[in-house]
Amino acid sequence: MTEQTRATSAVLDFVTGVDIRDFPADVIHIARRCVIDGLGVMLAGSTTEGSRILREYVREDMGAQESTAFGAGECRTRAASAALLNGASGHAMDFDDTQLSSSPDRLFGLLTHPTIPPLAAALAVGERLAVSGATLLEAFVAGFEVSCKIAEAIEPRHYIGGFHSSGTIGTFGATVAAARLLRLDRAALGHALGIAASMSSGIRVNFGTMTKPLHVGRAAANGVTAAELAARGFTAGADALDGPWGFFQIFGGGFDPGRIIGVLGNPYSIVNPGVSIKPYPCGCLGHPTMDAALKLVTEHDVQPEQIRQMRLRAGSNILKPLRYRIASSELEAKFCPAFMLASMALRRKAGIHEFTDEFVRSEPVQQMMQRVETVFDPAIEAQGYQVMRSIVEVDLVDGRRLVQAADDRYRGGPDLPFSREDLHAKFMECGELVLPAERLRTVLACVESLEAERDVRHLVRLLSVRDTVGTAAVPA
């Protein structure tokens, strides 16, 4: 067995040996933060039109009522279907966390939204099995770690060529989380990974549409399905990741063995290089630019009528994925630099109340977007892709030009992290679209001591709209 053909074995070794009692304290701490953020964006995302359509689709074929798809229009269904709905809701607003890179050649888009696929899968299977909070966290961290290391290892051609990593690689994270809860042995886990390799999918042409969050929902559901089939004796190829027909070669043209073999859990990616909690509900590649624009308009007190033109200078890692010149919907706005800058110019914020069809299509926004230009900057491109570098320039009607470079530190990331208060405020803003504040505060307390919970169904009940007393009914 060569270095090039033992990545699958390395994953099997890690997953079958993982034990929460061996987790460093910072792994548990950050994992709880990711769960809080993940649950919040799931609740908020459940209110979107795409999530409503998926719920109605699943309800047409309701089978066993074993797991909860929570949030707006809550329902109980099979574990895989609950994972599908919660996973898609978790990515519906593009507000879920992002994996970080530690090297210049691993561009941000290649790396995953690591929390939602394993969390949605673990919640669905964990509720059915009535597992403890510690067991849920163990499975979640294992899935998180495997997906991050696969994303770091695969050749960047995977993303550059058009795959959406959170859909493709997220499938493996969900599979590992579900497999841990189902207690699959080494052989069955190998089969589950093989099934997952054939089920993983998602292409970037669907960015800015309802199908992008569907990628993440399918990743969660496919992970549950792969683990459940393997538990029943369903077979697959023994080397899911390796060789000429394995995932790494077919989906990426190869991989770097040193980024996965011998480094799973050493260190845990959730700690180093870390994870970023999103400050804005849109593509993270625009976030430093939005912060720069906000700093510029507030420090100089720039009013919308003073702006003649706004300009974003960046490299291809930012300009290509943020592909919409002018947004005509909130989904397109999530990948539209013109909207991101227009929102800062007009409202000095860009949250869940700005990313709406009504605001995006309003006349002031449409007019301001016409004043925004994007410029490819070779000097920024030459600095590499591990940092989201950009420069915002604003030309004023009085002839002045204001310039603000984006901070190399990503707000919400390890170098400039959300405080506990920031994280809770984001959770409350998201969750209050569905649940009352008192219930949400109870959820926060539960997750912050999740490893002490004897039965994860307690957390699910707290998230349940049906168990909310004195609250207006939430529309389906």
At which residue do the structure tokens 């510029």 appear?
296
Eight-state DSSP code of residue 475? P
User: Tokens at residue 121, please?
Assistant: 């899968």
Query: How deeply is 220 buried, as exposed, middle or buried, from its count of CB atoms within 10 A (0-12, 13-18, 19+)?
Result: buried
Q: Is 374 exposed, middle or buried (0-12, 13-18, 19+ CB in 10 A)?
A: buried
Split at pLDDT 50, 70, 90, the class of 2 is low
SS3 content of the chain, % helix, strand, coil (to 5): 55, 10, 40
Report the chain's terminal Cα–Cα distance, integer Å.
Answer: 53
Upstream peptide bond of 273 is cis (omega within 30 degrees of 0)? yes
Residues in the chain: 476
For residue 475, what pLDDT band results from cuts at 50, 70 and 90? very low
Inter-axis angle of helices 170-182 and 186-199, nearest 10: 150
Q: How far apart are CA 75 and CA 55, in angstroms?
A: 8
Instruction: Give the per-residue pLDDT at 371.
Output: 98
Query: What average pLDDT is seen over the chain?
Result: 93
Determine the pLDDT at residue 385: 76
pLDDT at 473 over 70: no
Residues paired with residue 311 on neighbouring β-strands, in sequence order: 373, 393
pLDDT of residue 384: 79
Q: Which of 137, 112, 117 is nearest to 31 (CA)?
A: 137
- The reported pLDDT for the residue numbered 153 is 95
Instruction: Supply the pTM of this predicted model.
Output: 0.91
Q: DSSP strand E in 267-350: where?
A: 275-276, 307-314
For residue 419, the tally of other CB atoms under 10 A from its CB is 8
Q: Which domains does the chain have, with CATH numbers?
A: 3-276 (1.10.4100.10), 284-405 (3.30.1330.120)
pLDDT of residue 105: 72
Q: How far apart are CA 358 and CA 319, in angstroms?
A: 25
The rounded distance, in Å, linking the Cα atoms of 168 and 180 is 20
Reported confidence tier of residue 287, pLDDT bands at 50, 70, 90: very high
Mean pLDDT, residues 436-464: 96
Q: For residue 396, which phi and psi values (nearest 5 degrees)?
A: -95, 160
Distances (CA, A) of 54 to 62, 169, 174, 202, 220: 12, 22, 19, 17, 14
Give dist(CA 371, CA 369) in Å, integer.
5
pLDDT at 110: 62
Residue 29 makes CB contacts below 8 A (sequence gap 6+) with none
